[in-house]
Amino acid sequence: MPLSHRDHEPRMSILLPKLIHSTISRKLAAAVLAGAFGILAAAGPLMADQEISPDCVILLHGLGRRAASMAPMADAMTSRGYRVYNTAYPSTEAAVEVLTVSHLEPAVLKSRQDGCRVLHMVAHSLGAVMIRQYLQKHSLPAGSRIVMLAPPNHGSEIADMLGSWFFYRWFLGPSGLQLGTGPDSLPNRLAPVDGDIGVIAGDSSWNLMLSMMIPGPDDGKVSVESAKLEGMDDFIVLPVTHTFIMQDAEVMAQTAHFLAHGRFDRRRPETSPGGGPGSARTRYRRFEK
């Protein structure tokens, strides 16, 4: 029997509030879900960057060299997952203090803007003195490490002997004149620095004339003793020259090991065939502090 109009009214009075409540609930749920997805979408890139942001490495070349000299090291670090900043600077055109402010500090700033939370540094020769200069007023993020390659941490006798020569002054500029071994030279005036530091020195030389100016084992430019730094965490000597130390396969492997573990690897074999100039044999010497 068909329902009358009056028969519909009780049902409608019951169903209508439920229908309205159900519609409002669905819209409210949709709004909440949309907001949640919006928050996740906004946070997603930041979370992804934090998860995949690699450790970073700033590379600094030596006196009279270019960033290209550190290209093999850059490739070696990149292949190990680091984000690399191979920093070029006009090493012969200004004093170390000026170069540090004009080139190293901006490189550090750029790395931090790129989200680097761990910032390692690897430097050849003069670049190591620039790092020490930087650390006089700044510090690196927790977990950061430093590897110095053939650093003149106490200067070089070559600067003492040839610093007065016009050709030396013209070719190596203001920073070259700062690398003497006297107590007033920049390397000897810099205060000790705080950080995890490993030093690799060379004891192979192709320039016998320059080596005659340097007491004890040397790499043709810097003595093994001068490479040592107060407070360093590890120290090894490899049969490499000053000029090519940064491109030696064993040096690159040891650099990567220190960045990862805070120490050099003495478990590696005593020979390293094909390791680059002067690396037919590998000798390890630990410096006892």
Lowest mean pLDDT among 9-18, 70-79, 89-98, 111-120: 9-18
Instruction: Specify which residues 86 forms β-bridges with.
Output: 59
The pLDDT value given to residue 280: 37
Give mean pLDDT, residues 82-110: 98
- 8-state DSSP, 100: I
Q: What digits encode the pLDDT tens for the residues 239-251?
A: 999 999 999 999 9
Q: What's this model's pTM, rounded to 2 decimal places?
A: 0.78
Lowest mean pLDDT among 20-29, 32-41, 166-175: 32-41
The pLDDT value given to residue 53: 63
Lowest mean pLDDT among 163-167, 181-185, 192-196, 260-264: 163-167
Length, in residues, of the chain: 289
Lowest mean pLDDT among 25-34, 111-120, 179-188: 25-34
Instruction: Specify which residues 83 forms β-bridges with.
Output: 56
Give mean pLDDT, residues 99-105: 98
Both tokens assigned to 281: 């044999």
Phi-psi region of 236 (alpha: psi -120 to 50; beta: other; left: phi over 0): beta
Residue 9 has pLDDT above 90, yes or no: no
Task: State the pLDDT confidence band at 1, using cuts at 50, 70 and 90.
Answer: very low
Residue 48 has pLDDT above 80, yes or no: no
- 8-state DSSP, 115: T
The pLDDT value given to residue 26: 56
CATH number given to 54-261: 3.40.50.1820
Give mean pLDDT, residues 58-68: 97
The pLDDT value given to residue 22: 53
The closest alpha carbon to 196, from 154, 159, 235, belongs to 235
What rounded mean pLDDT belongs to the chain?
83
Q: At what angle do helices 71-79 and 249-261 cross, to 10 degrees?
A: 50
- Cβ 75 vs Cβ 57: under 8 Å: no
The pLDDT value given to residue 39: 41
| Amino acid code (one letter) for 194 | D
**Residue 88: other Cβ atoms inside 10 A:** 15
Give mean pLDDT, residues 74-98: 98
% of the chain residues with pLDDT over 90: 68
Query: In the chain, what are the domain boundaries?
Result: 1-52, 54-261
Give mean pLDDT, residues 182-207: 96
Place of tokens 């942001």: 53
Residue 289 has pLDDT above 60, yes or no: no
Look at residue 201 and give its three-state secondary structure: strand
